[in-house]
Chain A
Amino acid sequence: MSEVIIKTEKLSKSFSVGGKQQHVIKNLDLEIYKGDFTVIMGSSGAGKSTLLYALSGMDKPTLGKITYAGEEITGLNDDRLAIFRRKHCGFVFQQIHLVDSMSIMDNAISAGMLTGQKQKDLKKKALGLFERVGISEDMTRKFPAQLSGGEAQRGAMVRALINDPDVVFADEPTGALNSAGVKAVLDVLTDINNSGQTVLMVTHDVKSARRADRIIYLKDGGVTGELRLGKYVSEDKERHEKIRKFLEEMGW
């Protein structure tokens, strides 16, 4: 069994909307394993993104505990959580969220400089990462608005990877992309996972879910099912069928 990197105990998250408490995640016990490509699926409003944000320290749980590599993060204040995120987490968002007034190189470097790395070293590292995700050096000088969705999202991945995070959190990273962009982004995520990077992705796209070696299904704030697939192989035709059946059972 792989090492547990994130663990939750009776995790709950509620929001107050119009004076009423709305319980999005309820009493969730979950373990995320190191080196896994874990995908969280569920219907709209199931709490997928909320769970992702809670696990990454972006959002504080209402109740319960989250431990990260054995250390509890639930009691940390906002600034300590920010410091935790910069050291341990990488983020890829559906809307990409690169700072639009910085080039994609500067977006990556500025994230890297938060951990005290020197700019010169960061640039070298970033160039290596950009090459890995298929972005040329010329393109790194461009601003996000000057790139296609897929290119910008791959640029965001470089930002996510610049600090060698323990976990890459991806919140529907292919949601705003065309099919070519989707494939490019998923190929990168698969590639980094194959190199040992832990990836935790939220998606409602079955094609994206095929890349996972573990799918968790979320419903009404709790985990209602889990599917273990093993590492992704592109020619694996049975994989899609397994996922389809699983989702059917879950009421997808």
Chain B
Amino acid sequence: MIKLIKSNIHKDRSVLIAFMLIMIISSAILEISLFLGVYDKRYDRITEEMNTGDGVSFFYGDSDTVRGIMEDMSEVESFNIIDIILPADMTFTLNGSDKEKKFSDVMYFDVERYASFEDFFFVEKDDSISSDFIYLNVYTAYYNGIGIGDVMHLHSVNFGEYDLTVAGIYEDFMAGNPYSYLSAIVDDDTYGMIKNRSDELEASGTEFANRRFMNYTFADGVSLDDGVMKINDTVNAAGIPIDGYAASLAKAGYVSALHIISAFMTSLAVIIMVICLIMMVFTVNNNIDRDIRNIGALRAVGYTVSNIRAALCLEFMGLGVIGTVMGIGLSYALFPVLEKSLIRQISGMIWEKRFHPELTFSLVAAYIMIVPAVVFLATARIKKLHPATALRFGLASNSFRIRCALLQHQDRHDQFSDHAPGRFSGCVYLYHLQG
């Protein structure tokens, strides 16, 4: 059978190469879409490990009042309040360039006070930079094309100018996506300077940039959305402006765009694969017609129907395996590039685990099962192909229809009535009825 498979591949190589390319593309797209689906589970796993809480809020006002409200709320199990600064008009340039970019909606945290920052997953970090530094979240860094060692020149009419070296890039799972406020962590001295300026501006009534960042965990059974709403309503009612969102909404900011992209890519891959399978069915059928004499000859020398069908199925299964493996390999090669150039900007998360055996092997298994199953069904007509008939159909000049003897009109009591009953005795009775 191996010889037969090799000969089939040799004969059909151009078509098979086309199928293989289609499978490579389809499996690469599908594997990438599966990678995008992994971000959802990763977000859940890490936020649980880091205990980021069930929600976050930002308020402007007395933290003691809010603390009292939170302690009185039975729905709240635990909470944490940190001072932050949210300058409205900050811009930056990078490494001395003239191109100025907006840097608003960034909350500045003090590295000394933001104790939980050590729980952050640092993607990159340079510990040798110990002063005048800034840590950026993944989204901010990659969206603006900022890397470790870059010098950011921060400029604000109200807050002054600061030259800070980027010393770390971290994942922030609550304030690090395109739809939320963004976090940035600065060294203690820099934070102090910005804080002093913010206090001065607040005292003069020019700008109110001082904020409190609060994250909290609800008691069991409390609905996240209801809990956040109650906190917002209660604190607002106390005269303190507050805005907050549940962890579920925070998560959506990280993964919803990826879900959309993943769904689109999955649909595209499936459509491509379905078209490929349809083309395979047509190709197999055409090949059976083309090779009908060969099939007859193979049956004549002793190949069973199963042998011939198995050869075809194995040929396409091999194609499926090779195409899928190459496609998956391509996805593993492309995804890191795609992830760094695009996904991090969209999601604010990184692709942590590099190899996903459950995704890879299940995709290979799916292609291994589907492709030969489709080919097996397409070869069903070989079962009805009698070797003698197959050989005759391939020989137009020896077509039985042209050369067969015409039916002779015979007496009812012909020699056939003397036949011993056999498997096809029904034919004898039918003949008599026709006579």
Question: A79-B306, A85-B302, A97-B296 known; A15 and B425 CB under 8 Å?
Answer: no
Residue B323 at the chain A interface, CB threshold 8 Å: no
Q: How far, in whole Å, are A109 and B304 apart by their CA atoms in the complex?
A: 16
Q: How far, in whole Å, are A221 and B405 apart by their CA atoms in the complex?
A: 9
Chain B residue nearest to A56 (CB atoms) is B300
CB-based contact A10/B302 at 8 Å: no
Residue B401 at the chain A interface, CB threshold 8 Å: yes
Question: A97-B294, A220-B405 known; A53 and B427 CB under 8 Å?
Answer: no
Residue B99 at the chain A interface, CB threshold 8 Å: no
Question: A53-B388, A64-B422, A79-B306 known; A101 and B297 CB under 8 Å?
Answer: no
3 cross-chain pairs, A with B, having the tightest CB-CB distances, nearest first: A86-B302, A97-B297, A110-B3
B303 — which chain A residues lie within 8 A by C-beta? Answer: 82, 86, 114
Residue A23 at the chain B interface, CB threshold 8 Å: yes
Residue B430 at the chain A interface, CB threshold 8 Å: yes
Q: How far, in whole Å, are A22 and B302 apart by their CA atoms in the complex?
A: 28
Residue A59 at the chain B interface, CB threshold 8 Å: yes
CB-based contact B400/A12 at 8 Å: no
Q: Which of A94, A99, A111 contacts B7 (CB 8 A)?
A: A99
A102 — which chain B residues lie within 8 A by C-beta? Answer: 3-4, 6-7
Identify which of residues 1-59 in chain A touch chain B, using a CB-to-CB cut-off of 8 Å: 10, 12, 14-15, 17, 20-24, 26-27, 44-47, 49, 53, 56, 58-59
- What are 13 contact pairs spanning A and B, CB under 8 A? A10-B419, A21-B434, A49-B398, A58-B299, A58-B300, A63-B425, A63-B427, A82-B387, A89-B302, A97-B294, A100-B11, A102-B3, A102-B6
CB-based contact B7/A86 at 8 Å: no
A49 — which chain B residues lie within 8 A by C-beta? Answer: 398
Q: How far, in whole Å, are A97 and B291 apart by their CA atoms in the complex?
A: 11
CB-based contact B405/A24 at 8 Å: yes
Interface centre among B302, B398, B404 (most CB of A within 10 A): B302
CB-based contact B301/A86 at 8 Å: yes
Mark interface residues in B1-44 (1 if CB within 8 Å of A CB, else 0). 10110111011000000000000000000000000000000000
Identify which of residues 122-177 in chain B touch chain A, using a CB-to-CB cut-off of 8 Å: none
Q: How far, in whole Å, are A128 and B157 apart by their CA atoms in the complex?
A: 97
CB-based contact B407/A99 at 8 Å: no
Question: A45-B403, A110-B4 known; A26 and B415 CB under 8 Å?
Answer: yes
Residue A210 at the chain B interface, CB threshold 8 Å: no
- Report B342 CB to chain A, min CB distance, Å: 46
Q: Which of B304, B305, B405, B423 contacts A75 (CB 8 A)?
A: B423
B418 — which chain A residues lie within 8 A by C-beta? Answer: 10, 27
Q: How far, in whole Å, are A79 and B308 apart by their CA atoms in the complex?
A: 11
Q: How far, in whole Å, are A112 and B293 apart by their CA atoms in the complex?
A: 20
Mark interface residues in A105-125 (1 if CB within 8 Å of B CB, else 0). 010011101110000000000
B294 — which chain A residues lie within 8 A by C-beta? Answer: 97, 99-100
Number of interface residues of A (CB under 8 A): 57
Question: A62-B427, A97-B293 known; A27 and B386 CB under 8 Å?
Answer: no
Residue A183 at the chain B interface, CB threshold 8 Å: no
Mark interface residues in B286-324 (1 if CB within 8 Å of A CB, else 0). 000000011011111111111100000000000000000
- Report B332 CB to chain A, min CB distance, Å: 35
A83 — which chain B residues lie within 8 A by C-beta? Answer: 302, 304
Residue A67 at the chain B interface, CB threshold 8 Å: no
CB-based contact A85/B422 at 8 Å: no
Q: How far, in whole Å, are A224 and B403 apart by their CA atoms in the complex?
A: 20
Q: How far, in whole Å, are A62 and B1 apart by their CA atoms in the complex?
A: 32
Q: How far, in whole Å, are A65 and B422 apart by their CA atoms in the complex?
A: 9
Residue B222 at the chain A interface, CB threshold 8 Å: no
Q: How far, in whole Å, are A220 and B407 apart by their CA atoms in the complex?
A: 11
A interface residues with partner B (beta carbon < 8 Å) = 10, 12, 14-15, 17, 20-24, 26-27, 44-47, 49, 53, 56, 58-59, 62-65, 74-75, 78-79, 82-83, 85-87, 89, 91, 93-95, 97-102, 106, 109-111, 113-115, 159-160, 163, 220-221
Q: How far, in whole Å, are A87 and B303 apart by their CA atoms in the complex?
A: 11
Interface centre among A101, A106, A163 (most CB of B within 10 A): A101
CB-based contact A59/B386 at 8 Å: yes
Q: How far, in whole Å, are A23 and B401 apart by their CA atoms in the complex?
A: 13
Question: A93-B391, A106-B3 known; A79 and B428 CB under 8 Å?
Answer: no
Q: How far, in whole Å, are A114 and B401 apart by their CA atoms in the complex?
A: 33
Question: A26-B416, A85-B300, A91-B301 known; A113 and B400 CB under 8 Å?
Answer: no
Residue B395 at the chain A interface, CB threshold 8 Å: yes
Q: How far, in whole Å, are A142 and B395 apart by their CA atoms in the complex?
A: 24
CB-based contact B388/A59 at 8 Å: yes
Residue B355 at the chain A interface, CB threshold 8 Å: no
Question: A12-B416, A27-B415 known; A97 and B430 CB under 8 Å?
Answer: no
Mark interface residues in B409-431 (1 if CB within 8 Å of A CB, else 0). 00000011011101111011011
A27 — which chain B residues lie within 8 A by C-beta? Answer: 415-416, 418-419
A44 — which chain B residues lie within 8 A by C-beta? Answer: 403
Residue B237 at the chain A interface, CB threshold 8 Å: no
Q: Which of A15, A56, A86 contacts B400 (CB 8 A)?
A: A15
- Report A125 CB to chain B, min CB distance, Å: 15
Chain A residue nearest to B296 (CB atoms) is A97
Known interface pairs A82-B387, A97-B293, A110-B4; 4 further A-B residue pairs with C-beta atoms within 8 A, sorted by A's residue number? A78-B305, A85-B302, A93-B391, A99-B294
Q: How far, in whole Å, are A160 and B7 apart by their CA atoms in the complex?
A: 19
Residue B406 at the chain A interface, CB threshold 8 Å: yes
Q: How far, in whole Å, are A85 and B307 apart by their CA atoms in the complex?
A: 14
B10 — which chain A residues lie within 8 A by C-beta? Answer: 101
Q: Which of B300, B305, B405 contacts A91 (CB 8 A)?
A: B300
CB-based contact B4/A22 at 8 Å: no
Q: Which of A59, A93, A109, A114 contacts B297 (CB 8 A)?
A: A93
A159 — which chain B residues lie within 8 A by C-beta? Answer: 301
B431 — which chain A residues lie within 8 A by C-beta? Answer: 21
